[in-house]
Amino acid sequence: MISTFTYALLDKEVNNNVIADLNTKLKALAQKNNAYEFFTPVVQPLADVHLQSKEILFETNANKSDVLNVYVLSCIGVLILLLAAVNFTNLVTAKSAGRAKEVGMRKVIGAIRRQLIGQHLVESIIVTFFSAVIALAMAIGITPVLNSLYQRYADPFILLSAANLGVIAALVLLVGFIAGAYPAFVLSSFKPVIVLKGAFKNSSGGIQLRKALVVLQFTISIALMVGTGIVYKQMRYIYTADLGYSRDQVITIAQSGAAVGRSSAFKNELLQNPGIKSVGTSSTRVGQQLGRTQIYPEGFGDDTNIITSIMNADQDFVPTMGMTIVSGRNFSLSYDDSLSMLVNEEMLRLLKWTDVVGKKISLQSGPNPTDRTAYTVVGVVKDFHFATVRHKLEPMFMLYNRDNPAMVVKAGADNIQTTISFIEETWKKTNPGTTFEYNFLDAQFANLYRNEQAFSSMFTHFTILAIAIAGLGLFALSAFTVEQRRKEIGIRKVLGASSGTILYALSREFIILILVAFALASVLAYFMMDKWLQDFQYSISITPGIFLAVGAVSILIALATISFQALKAAWSNPVNALRTE
């Protein structure tokens, strides 16, 4: 069967229900023709190919991503916006005493509460508006840098379209209202008699709210830090996992058309160069899904329905890729291997075979179910991953074929560019008028995880931004707390308290809040990241070490933030704080 992409222009009246019905009919047609076990035909809107193709394994040429990553990063963006709004709310309510007399005077001259609430909401929206203008300018300016960093292309000026400006305007109003609502109601509730006498104090309710907001901020930040650690460990696992083959100094060459038929001649020419150690060919490149077919193993009944993966390879493919033969032998020119087969270890587990060499596996070779050709298993190759670790390792076998479209060249470490130039010149002589396409296997492998790497980088940068916002909020709030307790600090110093004692007294409350946030964030991060890891067939385990490390870092960040203000107050002259007493 030859797989093809078929494009159909549908009527404008066609909706998702019609597409779902088409997929149902295609599935029934495939089942009727006994093909459903080998492939699943799918009708998919063209606009969905990039983000909605995770389950379409054989669409190897599409630049696919995962809509889940978009949702995750969007949620993180909303959380960062929430952190900024929390900072605004926290600082405005903390500084409410500074505006108490203003509110009192306005009430005395006739302002009603509704007017005061409106004033503060407008102030909040104005601050949000100017912040949005600055953010928009920064986004347009930084987009080219991000495009280069994440190997994407996004037009920054699309943000200035009418639709996007409308969304931004709505966001300004929403964020301005959310950030300013509570401060507006708090400030408008002041009683003029109390504030004009100078007897105003921050309410216990306001203090408790600020504590709750600090916990919220650090819950989000710590959860993101844990997530960053887990994403980093998973990516490191991907790049260091034993894939069953070597990626070092391996060059891949794509062949097509008549070039495939001249593959053996091209290979022999390449081996004349001492800088080339070996050359092999296969039907499938790294990153492509293997073909699938039904097999009829020796000792199993005809009604047994076993579907496995299949690829072709020559006698030099296994050694060139650094694969390991764990039992039996590799394909060899010393034998007639036209009816020979290599199987992987997963095939042995599927068939529950122990002594596999010499066993027969038949494949259908004609239109009738009884048209079969028997192949002899001559060796077992160690399991290897050609697809990403998102896909489960499957039972597979190799058939012998000397001319295949995917060529791999094992080169020496010295003068690699000279070797590539030689390969290109030899290609032009052997295949004149055709395009020479090559890649390094390690780069090809890295490209398989380009989306995951971009997601990891974005996640990390968002986390750093969230920590910075939460840290700035804690810095400002600790400065306000120290200012409120300046006289208390002065009295403690007069009574003989050391700087360490004062630092402990001022930081203890904040550290307790961080510990509460850590407990909440640990639970949240565990469930979120466990869900993310489920998208990989092979993944790391979430261990306590990540949480303990993040907890320690969080406390250090909090202590560093608070200590500056606390020690500044502890080292100041107590006379200045007690002068008015």
Does the pLDDT at position 224 exceed 70?
yes
Does the pLDDT at position 304 exceed 90?
no
The overall average pLDDT reported for the chain is 82
Distance in angstroms (rounded) separating the CA atoms of residues 532 and 72 = 10
Distance in angstroms (rounded) separating the CA atoms of residues 490 and 484 = 12
Work out the pLDDT band at 383, boundaries 50, 70, 90.
very high
Work out the pLDDT band at 381, boundaries 50, 70, 90.
very high
The confidence score (pLDDT) of residue 38 equals 54
Instruction: Pull the structure tokens for residue 482.
Output: 């120290």
DSSP single-letter state for residue 282: E
CB 238 within 8 A of CB 452: yes
pTM for the structure as a whole: 0.76
Q: Higher pLDDT residue, 82 or 330? A: 330
User: What is the DSSP code string of 482-504?
Assistant: HHHTHHHHHHHHHTT--HHHHHH
pLDDT digits (tens, 9 = 90+) for 392-435: 888 999 999 988 999 999 998 788 889 999 999 999 999 888 88
Q: Highest mean pLDDT: which of 33-47, 314-328, 552-566?
A: 314-328
The confidence score (pLDDT) of residue 472 equals 83
CB 127 within 8 A of CB 243: no
Work out the pLDDT band at 454, boundaries 50, 70, 90.
confident
Q: Who's near 510: CB < 8 A, 6+ residues apart?
A: 214, 474, 478, 558, 562
Distance in angstroms (rounded) separating the CA atoms of residues 375 and 440 = 34
pLDDT digits (tens, 9 = 90+) for 321-355: 999 999 999 999 999 999 999 999 999 999 998 88
The confidence score (pLDDT) of residue 2 equals 46
User: What is the DSSP code string of 402-468?
Assistant: S--SEEEEEE-SSSHHHHHHHHHHHHHHHSTTS---EEEHHHHHHHHTHHHHHHHHHHHHHHHHHHH
Which of 410, 385, 380, 386 minimizes the C-alpha distance to 398?
A: 380
Distance in angstroms (rounded) separating the CA atoms of residues 364 and 368 = 8
Distance in angstroms (rounded) separating the CA atoms of residues 265 and 218 = 65
What value does the mean pLDDT take over residues 449-464? 84
Of 32-46, 363-377, 407-421, 422-436, the least confident: 32-46
Distance in angstroms (rounded) separating the CA atoms of residues 101 and 197 = 9
Torsion of CA 315, 256, 248, 152, to 10 degrees: -150
The confidence score (pLDDT) of residue 1 equals 43
Query: Which residues sit opposite 368 in a β-bridge?
Result: none
CB 381 within 8 A of CB 344: yes
Distance in angstroms (rounded) separating the CA atoms of residues 429 and 423 = 10
Residue 70 belongs to what H/E stretch? helix 67-94
Distance in angstroms (rounded) separating the CA atoms of residues 564 and 558 = 10
The confidence score (pLDDT) of residue 54 equals 64
The confidence score (pLDDT) of residue 117 equals 79
Distance in angstroms (rounded) separating the CA atoms of residues 44 and 56 = 10
CB 381 within 8 A of CB 324: yes
Distance in angstroms (rounded) separating the CA atoms of residues 449 and 455 = 10
pLDDT digits (tens, 9 = 90+) for 520-565: 999 999 998 998 888 888 889 999 999 999 999 988 888 888 887 7
Does the pLDDT at position 270 exceed 90?
yes
Q: How many CB atoms lie within 10 A of CB 556?
A: 10
User: What is the DSSP code string of 74-121?
Assistant: HHHHHHHHHHHHHHHHHHHHHTHHHHHHHHHHHHHTT--HHHHHHHHH
Residue 164 belongs to what H/E stretch? helix 162-188
What angle is formed at CA 307 by the lines to CA 306 and CA 313, rounded to 5 degrees? 125
Q: Higher pLDDT residue, 578 or 512? A: 512
Distance in angstroms (rounded) separating the CA atoms of residues 454 and 483 = 44
- Could you give phi then psi for residue 411, rounded to 5 degrees? -105, 160
Torsion of CA 183, 189, 191, 195, to 10 degrees: 0
CB 333 within 8 A of CB 315: yes
Percent of the chain with pLDDT over 90: 28
- Could you give phi then psi for residue 380, rounded to 5 degrees? -120, 125
Look up tokens 């996007």; give the residue: 164
Does the pLDDT at position 459 exceed 80?
yes
State the alpha helices, DSSP H only, in 189-203.
Answer: 192-196
Q: Residue 439, Cα to own-chain centre: how many angstroms? A: 25
**Residue 171 to residues 134, 175, 232: CA-CA distances in angstroms?**
14, 6, 32
CB 398 within 8 A of CB 308: no
Q: Higher pLDDT residue, 483 or 88? A: 88
Does the pLDDT at position 124 exceed 80?
yes
What value does the mean pLDDT take over residues 182-199? 62
What value does the mean pLDDT take over residues 122-140? 89
Q: Give strand ranges (E) for 199-275.
A: 250-254
Q: How many CB atoms lie within 10 A of CB 247?
A: 17
Length of the chain: 581
